[in-house]
Amino acid sequence: MDSSGISAPKRGEIVRQIGEALRAKLQLLGRLVSLEMGKILPEGIGEVQEVIDMCDYAVGLSRQLNGSIIPSERPNHMMMEVWNPLGVVGVITAFNFPCAVLGWNACIALVCGNCVVWKGAPTTPLITIAMTEIVAGVLKKNDLPGAIFTAFCGGAEIGQAIACDTRIPLVSFTGSTKVGIAVQQKVYERFGKCLLELSGNNAIIVMDDADIQLAVRSVLFAAVGTAGQRCTTCRRLLLHERIYQTVLDQLVEVYKQVKIGDPLEKGTLLGPLHTPASKENFVKGIEVIKAQGGKILTGGSVIESVGNFVQPTIVEISPSAQVVKEELFGPVLYVMKFQTLKEAIEINNSVRQGLSSSIFTRRPEVIFKWIGPHGSDCGIVNVNIPTNGAEIGGAFGGEKATGGGREAGSDSWKQYMRRATCTINYGSELPLAQGINFG
């Protein structure tokens, strides 16, 4: 079963209809995401909107999955780069983006001519089922086999099965570096391909010439948004010594005003963590932080109530503390001081992860240094915006322990296809490359 027999523009038309079906239920799905995952409603709706955007984008892409015709050095030869579907793409997603990550992968995988086998997070079965129902409805309406898009609600054993199945040439995995590496090993053993979106440990650098207000608002969104459970959440804040105290004071002030509560309620900025385990993890994290010399400037405690609520937390800590090198999946922000751009970039690049990063400055020489060969070593390199909130037109993903995969825009679609360098001799002679004469 594959969708490669249907032409790419027709596959695009199917994806367009999926987008339409989602658009018709945007508010409901947004609420469901919010309800099941715990992020606030505008973020829930934004996540569904992102899937819709991906559908629209993929429709256009379905007429632009272009190969190349490359000049051949041999007369009467045509050299081409041709892109063909892989067959089946396995997509393993995480709880924090229960549908957007599926959207990034499935929209592209489908227009590229693949079938999709999706494993959602075990804790977000409702959104998995809802999305699958919607896709299934569109397939049915177009008299296409439902097997083009299959979903599973389940745990590690399903992931394991996908990783080991030789019928699935590509496994796209989003989750922790630890699990991702294990998946990768399984897939490579059977000579499959991986697309990995693993842990981040993202820093925001605020230079002394920065627009402080812009920076503070951005840090708040980047560190507290989705309760710190985005892979692009800002976890490290590097402040130039000259504006260190100013920014910190404003930030602590703003943190105290963050409205915590029901994510579906208007005005709430911080909902609960996703599970009791997440809450427990937060508690343990705070203990480690303290043990390693971290100073809690605000927050640091769980909130005694129904639900996995914790306080948004700011920690003053040394860049060399071990805990700073790891991803603590919650609203905990480490603040550090630096003196020079060079030092800030070194701290930014000193962790294993390489997903997102951001600087606040208005100096062109700093901006271009930051995005250049001696700047941030991350896959996402921002200026005057938060570490999170990517647009679909660009390629999303990170370097180093973040896994190296790229999803959504740019030429990410190439990962979902098989590249063939084809040379057709339509003449009757056999000239050889590099002018070789044989026999």
Query: Which residues between 220 and 279 bind a second copy (CB under 8 A)?
Result: 220-221, 225, 269
Residue 150: which of 108, 174, 120, 173 has the closest Cα?
Answer: 120
Cβ–Cβ < 8 Å for 38, 227? yes
**How many C-beta neighbours within 10 Å does residue 31 have?**
17
Say whether 228 sits in a helix, a strand or coil.
helix
Active-site residue, selected from the candidate residues 36, 43, 47, 197: 197
Residue 12 engages a second copy in binding (rule: CB under 8 A): yes
Unique residue bearing structure tokens 């400037």: 297
| 378 and 226 Cβ atoms separated by less than 8 Å | no
- Taking the complex as a whole, the smallest distance from the CB of residue 284 to a second copy amounts, in Å, to 25
Rule CB under 8 A: which of 309-368 touch a second copy?
352, 362-365, 367-368
What's the closest the beta carbon of residue 260 comes to a second copy, in angstroms?
13
Q: Could you tell me the sign of the dihedral formed by the alpha carbons of 372, 377, 379, 383, in that order?
A: negative
Count of positions (residues) in the chain: 439
Give yes or no for residue 299 binding a second copy (CB under 8 A).
no
Q: How many residues line the site for a second copy (CB under 8 A)?
A: 120
Q: Which of 36, 57, 105, 347 binds a second copy (CB under 8 A)?
A: 57
Check residue 208 for interaction with a second copy (CB under 8 A): no
Establish if 411 lies at the interface with a second copy (CB under 8 A).
yes
Question: Residue 197 catalytic?
Answer: yes
Minimal distance in Å, beta carbon 96 to a second copy? 15
Q: How far is CA 132 from CA 12, 137, 171, 291, 303, in A?
A: 18, 8, 19, 46, 35
Q: Which is nearer to a second copy, 132 or 402 (CB)?
A: 402
Output b/e per residue, 33-57; b: 16+ Cβ within 10 A.
bbbbbbbbbbbbbbbbbbbbbbbbb
Answer for which of 59, 117, 138, 238 binds a second copy (CB under 8 A) is 59
The nearer residue to a second copy, 304 or 322, going by C-beta atoms, is 322
Question: Are the CB atoms for 300 and 313 separated by under 8 Å?
Answer: yes
In angstroms, give the least distance from the CB of 343 to a second copy.
19
**Residue 155 in tokens:** 């745990």
Among 143, 157, 306, 438, binds a second copy (CB under 8 A): 438
| 26 part of the interface to a second copy, by CB under 8 A | no
81: left (phi over 0), alpha (psi -120 to 50) or beta: beta
* Rounded distance between C-alpha atoms, residue 271 and residue 338, angstroms: 32
Among 49, 298, 313, 348, binds a second copy (CB under 8 A): 49
Determine phi and psi for 437, rounding to 5 degrees: -115, 115
Beta carbon of residue 41, minimum distance to a second copy (angstroms, whole number)? 10
Dihedral over alpha carbons 398, 26, 106, 275 (to 10 degrees): 60
Nearest to a second copy of 151, 162 (CB atom): 162
Assess 419 for contact with a second copy (CB under 8 A).
yes
- Restricted to residues 62-91, the positions that interact with a second copy (CB under 8 A) are 62-85
Cα→Cα distances 221→228, 229, 307, 367, Å: 9, 12, 22, 22
Q: Which of residues 357-396 bind a second copy (CB under 8 A)?
A: 362-365, 367-368, 371-385, 389-396
Binding mask 96-125 for a second copy (x = CB under 8 A): -----------------x------------
Please say whether the beta carbons of 88 and 115 come within 8 A.
yes
Task: Give the binding range for a second copy (CB under 8 A) out of 41-49, 128-136, 244-252, 335-343.
Answer: 41-49
In the complex, the smallest distance separating the C-beta of residue 436 from a second copy, rounded to whole angstroms, is 4
Q: Please, what is the minimum distance in Å from the beta carbon of residue 17 to a second copy?
A: 11
Q: Which is nearer to a second copy, 151 or 196 (CB)?
A: 196
| Catalytic center residues | 197
